[in-house]
Amino acid sequence: MARRHRYGPWRGGADPLAAPFDVRQALDALGERVLSGEGLRSALRDLLRRGLPGEQDQRVPGLDELRAAARRRRRETSRRGRWDGALTRAAALLDQALAAEREELENRTISATDDAQALDASFAQARLDALPRSTTAAVRELSDYRWSSPRAEQLYRQLLDELREEVIDSQFRGIRDALRGMGSPQAQSALAEMLRDLNSLLDKHARGEDTSGDFAEFMRRHGHLFPDEPRSVEELIDSLARQAAAGQRLLNSLSPQQREELAGLMGQALGDGELAGQLAALTDALRALRPDLNWTSSEQARGRDPLGYGQATEALAELADLDDLIEALGQDRPGSSLDDIDVEQVERTLGSAAAQGVRELRQLERELLEQGWLTGTPDALALTPKALRRLGQTALRQVFAHLDTSGRGDHDQAEAGAAGEPTGASRAWEFGDSQPLDVVRTLGRALQRAGTPSEGRRAPRVRLEVGDFEVIETERRAGATVALCVDLSFSMAVEGRWGPMKQTALALAHLVATRFPQDTLQIIGFGRRASQLSTVELAAVEPDYVQGTNLHHALQLAGRHLRRHPDGESVVLVVTDGEPTAHLAEGGQALFSYPPSRATIQATVGEVDSLTRFGAAINMFVLGEDPGLARFVDALARRNGGRVFTPTADHLGSYLVSDYLRARRGRRR
C-alpha cells in the first residue's frame, strides 16, 4: 500500500532551513573597535551593550536599552503604594469592630431590664475604653473578649483571617485559593502537615542527602498547594526563599514602631500553635539555604495608596527580581556572561520583545564563535584568520574608495614571458615563442583564409599554415618582498592613529594575499622593542604605557626579511609619528632616551645605510607634526633615496597602498 504523507509547518524547534544568522555587521563593528586598540572581550561587551542598528523589525536592542527599561519598571513598582497597608487595614477593621461593639453595648445599657445587665455592659464599655492605642496590643487584649455584637466579632475575626491568609499567601504564592476558609481546623491541620513535610524535606536537603524521591512524594501529597509547579527541590527553595526574603525586607522597610506592630499582629494572626512554629522554622531554613539573597536591606516606598501585606511583599519580591535583572544586564561582574540573564524573568518583567532581544544577543555571541569569526574561551577570545580576512577586505575596499581608479593594479613590467599571466590579447606566433597557443584565434584565421563555401558546393578543407598560428600574450609579474614597519608606541593610540594604522596593515596584508600572492609581506611592530607580527597578533595587540620608538630594531628585522627573499623587489614601508628614541645595545638591551641620544641616531642610520646598500628604498609615512621627526625623515630620505609622505590618519591607507603598488613596479637598484 502506498503511504500517505501530510506536510505542514515545522514545529520541532528552530527552522532547519532558515538562513544563518548574519553577523557580518556585528563583526565589522567589533573589528573597528578592536583595531582602534580596544581588547576583543571589551569590544564584544560594548557591542552587546549597544546592540545592532537596523529597521525596527531587524534591529537588536542592546543590554543598555534593556537595563534602562528594567530601571523604569523598578521606579514604577516602587511607586505602587505604601508598605504599611497591612497596619492601616488592621487598624481600620479594628476601629469598625470597636464602633459596632460600642453601639451594641450602648443599646444594651439603654434596654437593660436589671442592674446586672447594665453592669455587664458598663464593664465591657470600660474595658474597650481602656484598650491601648497600639493596634497590636489592642488585638492582643481582645483575644479573650466576649463580643456582644456579632458584626463586631465578625470584623475582628476578619482582621485576623485576612492577615493570616496574606502572610501564608505571601510565603506560598497562590496558596490562598487552595486554602480558602483557612480558619477551619481542617484547613489549618492540612497546612501544618504540609509545613512539617516541607521542613523535613529541606532539612534532609541541607544535610546533602538525596531528596529526589522525597520531593516526588511531597509534590504528590501537597502539589495542589503550589500553583507554580516547581520541578525540583532547588526550584522550590528558590521560590520560597525569594518570598520569605521579600517579607523580611518588608519588615525592614517599616519604622521600628510599625515593624513591632506588624510583627505582633502576625503573631496574633498565626497564634501560638504549631502553625507559627513551623513557619518560623521554615524561614530559618530558607535563610540558611539561600544566604545570598537580600535579607537585610530596606526599600523606600514612593506611592500614596496603602498596600496589603501580600501586595507589599509581592512588590518587594518584584523589586528584588528587577535588582537582580539590572545587575545581570549590567554584565559588570568578572566572568559574567549572557547566560547569567534569566530570559523567563525578562519576559515576566519586561515583556516578550525584551526577552527576544536577549535571545538574539545570545545567538549573536554564539554565532560569532560557531561561524568561525571568533575563537577561544569567553575569557580569552581572539579573531580568527577568517575574521581578519573580512576586516582586511573591508579595509582594502575603503582604501580603494580613495584611490584613483586609473591607477589600481599598475604593477606590471614591460617584459613578457611564459611564467606570466594572460593579458587577454594575442599576437602572431614567432620562432622561439613559449607562450601558450590561442586555439580559437588560430582556427579563426585559418577559416578566414579558406573562405566560405558557395551555394551547392561542399565546404573547403581547412589547412593550418604557419601564418595562422597565434599565441596568448602574457606579462610577467614582478614579485616583491615587503617589510611594513608600524609604530606601536603609546602616542599612536593617544593621538587616534592606532585604528587607521591597524586597518592599513590589514588592508595591505589582504591585498598581498589575494592579488599578489607571489609577494612576501612581513609586518613588524615597534615600540621600545620591535617584533614580527602576524595579522592575528597585530589585530590583538593593545597599546601600553612603555615609552620608546625603536626604529633601529624594526629596520634590523626588515633587513633580515629582505635578505631571506633576495629575488623580489625590496620594499620597506615605515609608519610612525615620532623620531627614534630607542635602540638595541650590543647585549640586546633596549635603551631609551629622550631627546634622542647620539647613539640611537647612529644605530638607526647604520641600519638605513645597510638597507640602502642592499638596494631597498625606505618610504616613510609620517603622522603628526613632530619637528624632530620631520628633520630625521628628511635626512633619511636624502641618504636612502626613498620618499616621505605626510598623510592624515584617515588617508594613511590610500597613501600606503598606492605607494606599494607603485614601488613594486620598479627594480632594485
| Residue 328, CA distances (Å) to 46, 337, 358 in order | 15, 8, 11
Q: Rounded to an integer, what distance in angstroms lies between the CA atom of residue 617 and that of residue 615?
A: 7
Q: How many CA atoms lie within 13 A of 262 on its CB side?
A: 26
Last residue of a domain, one of 335, 356, 383: 383
457 in the same domain as 375: no
CB 170 within 8 A of CB 243: yes
273 in the same domain as 206: yes
525 in the same domain as 621: yes
The pLDDT-based confidence of 559 (bands split at 50, 70, 90) is very high
625 in the same domain as 537: yes
- CA proximity to 314, closest of 375, 362, 247: 247
Could you tell me the residue range of the domain that residue 443 belongs to?
421-475
Evaluated on CA atoms 114, 119, 125, 127, the torsion sign reads: negative
- Omega prior to 627 cis, within 30 of 0: no
CB 322 within 8 A of CB 73: yes
In a domain, 412, yes or no: no
Amino acid at the residue 196: R
Looking at per-residue pLDDT, the higher value among 64 and 385 belongs to 64
615-648 pLDDT tens trace = 888 888 888 777 888 888 888 888 888 888 778 7
550 in the same domain as 442: no
155 in the same domain as 279: yes
N-terminal to C-terminal alpha carbon distance within the chain: 85
In a domain, 2, yes or no: no
pLDDT of residue 11: 67
Mean pLDDT over 220-249 rounds to 81
- Give backbone dihedrals phi and psi of 308, rounded to 5 degrees, phi first: -65, 170
**By mean pLDDT, which of 157-166, 278-287, 454-463, 560-569 is the weakest?**
454-463
286 in the same domain as 377: no
In a domain, 669, yes or no: no
Q: How far is CA 564 from the centre of its chain?
A: 45
192 in the same domain as 254: yes
In a domain, 406, yes or no: no
- CA proximity to 541, closest of 505, 593, 582: 505
265 in the same domain as 116: yes
- Residue 385, pLDDT > 60, answer yes
In a domain, 640, yes or no: yes
Q: Rounded to an integer, what distance in angstroms lies between the CA atom of residue 145 and that of residue 94?
A: 13
Looking at per-residue pLDDT, the higher value among 539 and 458 belongs to 539
DSSP summary character for residue 423: E
The pLDDT-based confidence of 188 (bands split at 50, 70, 90) is low
- Residue 581, pLDDT > 70, answer yes
Predicted TM-score of the model (pTM): 0.56
Joined grid coordinates for residue 315: 512588590
Beta strands in 479-589 (DSSP E): 480-487, 520-526, 530-533, 569-576, 582-584
- Residue 418, pLDDT > 50, answer no
249-281 pLDDT tens trace = 777 777 777 667 667 766 666 665 667 777 778
Angle at 257 between CA 255 and CA 259, to 5 degrees: 65
Last residue of a domain, one of 445, 475, 505: 475
In a domain, 319, yes or no: no
201-213 pLDDT tens trace = 888 888 888 888 8
Number of domains in the chain: 4
pLDDT of residue 576: 86
pLDDT of residue 560: 92
pLDDT of residue 379: 65
344 in the same domain as 284: no
Rounded to 10°, the helix 309-330/85-111 angle is 180
Looking at per-residue pLDDT, the higher value among 434 and 627 belongs to 627
In a domain, 408, yes or no: no
Beta strands in 8-68 (DSSP E): 51-52, 60-61
Contacts of 245 (CB under 8 A, 6+ apart): 286, 287, 290, 293, 294, 295, 317, 320
Joined grid coordinates for residue 260: 513591632
- Give backbone dihedrals phi and psi of 388, rounded to 5 degrees, phi first: -70, -35
CB 647 within 8 A of CB 601: no
In a domain, 4, yes or no: no
Q: Rounded to an integer, what distance in angstroms lies between the CA atom of residue 587 and that of residue 91?
A: 89
- Maximum alpha-carbon separation in the chain: 153
Residue 597: which CATH number? 3.40.50.410
Q: How far is CA 323 from the centre of its chain?
A: 19
Last residue of a domain, one of 263, 298, 333: 298
111-161 pLDDT tens trace = 766 667 777 778 888 888 888 777 777 877 787 788 888 888 888 888 877
DSSP summary character for residue 82: B
- Residue 398, pLDDT > 80, answer no
DSSP summary character for residue 578: S
Contacts of 106 (CB under 8 A, 6+ apart): 121, 125
SS3 string of 159-213?
HHHHHHHHHHHHHCCCHHHHCCCCCCHHHHHHHHHHHHHHHHHHHHHHCCCCCHH
Joined grid coordinates for residue 62: 542592546
Q: What percent of the chain has pLDDT over 90?
A: 2
- Residue 557, pLDDT > 90, answer yes
Q: How many CB atoms lie within 10 A of CB 95?
A: 13
Joined grid coordinates for residue 90: 488592621
485 in the same domain as 528: yes
Q: Rounded to an integer, what distance in angstroms lies between the CA atom of residue 261 and that of residue 6?
A: 68
61-89 pLDDT tens trace = 888 888 888 888 888 888 877 767 777 77
> Average pLDDT over the chain, rounded to whole?
77
53 in the same domain as 94: no
